[in-house]
Every structure is written in structure tokens, then in C-alpha cells.
């Protein structure tokens, strides 16, 4: 998550929410990758992709994004699943902070009470930074 998603510059370079994985879909075996920019109001824009992957087998899996000056490249278990390039959106030049949650909202549909409470297990998190690129 960026500290600020809209500094008044349209196009995404001024802060972009990067969702490495969200909106679990175990029925269809999908994970959603997404980026959001230009705030969350009327100017909000996003690009998202539902990657087909069987990560619902009870085992640990890896999720990654390689954020460079030219693209966001998403991976599941070391396999590239989606790429968003600077031709599609201005790549953010501002640092983000990490957030791990089971957050849901209108975009995930109404949760089924029989599935609650729910949880995920995280074994470890690694973060690397390209210092020369970010503000």
C-alpha cells in the first residue's frame, strides 16, 4: 500500500496500490492480481487479472511481484502469471508498505457465514528494494 495513492498526478506514478494476491476464488481456482491508482473516488482506475492457480491444496505457496521502472510482473510459485507494463500505466515511483490481510468488501462478494472464521498461514515474507528507483 502507498502512504498516499493520489498526490494529484494522474496516471499512477504518484502512488499505486499493488495487490499481489487478493479476492480468493477457490471454486474456480483463481487468485486476483491488481493495481489501483488515482485515488479511490471518481478518478479511481485499476488493472486486474484473475490468474488460474491451484493454491487451495492446503500447502504453502509463494506469491511475488517484481516492481521495476518498466513494469509490475506477478508470480505464483515462481511462474510468471501476469505483467503490467509502463505502456499500460505510469509505474509508481513511491515506496509502499506491506499489508497482509483477509480484507474483503463489495468486490469479493458476501462471505458465507459457514466459512467463518477464516484464516491464512504465512510462513515468511521477503522484501527487496530497488533504492535507485523509488523516491
Verify cis geometry, omega within 30 degrees of 0, for the bond prior to 26.
Answer: no
pTM across the whole model:
0.87
Cβ(61)–Cβ(52) below 8 Å: no
Question: Could you tell me the residue ranges of all domains in the chain?
Answer: 16-115
Task: Give the Å distances, CA to CA, from 39 to 9, 10, 72, 126, 129.
Answer: 10, 9, 19, 27, 24
* pLDDT tens, per residue, the chain with 135 residues: 998 888 888 888 889 999 998 877 778 888 999 999 999 889 999 999 999 998 888 899 999 999 999 999 999 999 999 999 999 999 998 889 999 887 776 766 677 788 777 778 889 999 887 776 665
Amino acid at each position: 500500500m502507498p502512504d498516499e495513492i493520489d498526490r494529484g498526478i494522474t496516471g499512477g506514478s504518484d502512488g499505486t496500490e499493488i495487490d499481489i494476491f487478493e479476492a480468493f476464488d477457490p471454486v474456480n481456482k483463481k487468485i486476483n492480481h491488481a493495481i489501483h491508482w488515482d485515488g479511490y473516488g471518481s478518478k479511481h482506475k485499476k488493472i486486474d487479472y484473475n490468474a488460474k492457480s491451484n493454491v487451495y491444496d492446503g500447502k504453502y505457496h509463494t506469491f511475488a511481484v517484481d516492481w521495476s521502472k518498466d513494469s509490475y510482473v506477478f508470480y505464483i510459485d515462481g511462474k510468471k502469471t501476469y505483467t503490467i507494463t509502463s505502456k499500460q500505466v505510469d509505474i509508481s515511483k513511491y515506496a509502499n508498505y506491506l499489508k497482509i490481510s483477509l480484507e474483503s468488501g463489495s468486490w469479493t462478494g458476501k462471505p458465507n457465514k459457514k466459512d467463518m472464521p477464516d484464516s491464512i498461514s504465512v510462513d515468511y515474507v521477503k522484501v527487496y528494494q530497488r533504492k535507485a528507483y523509488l523516491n
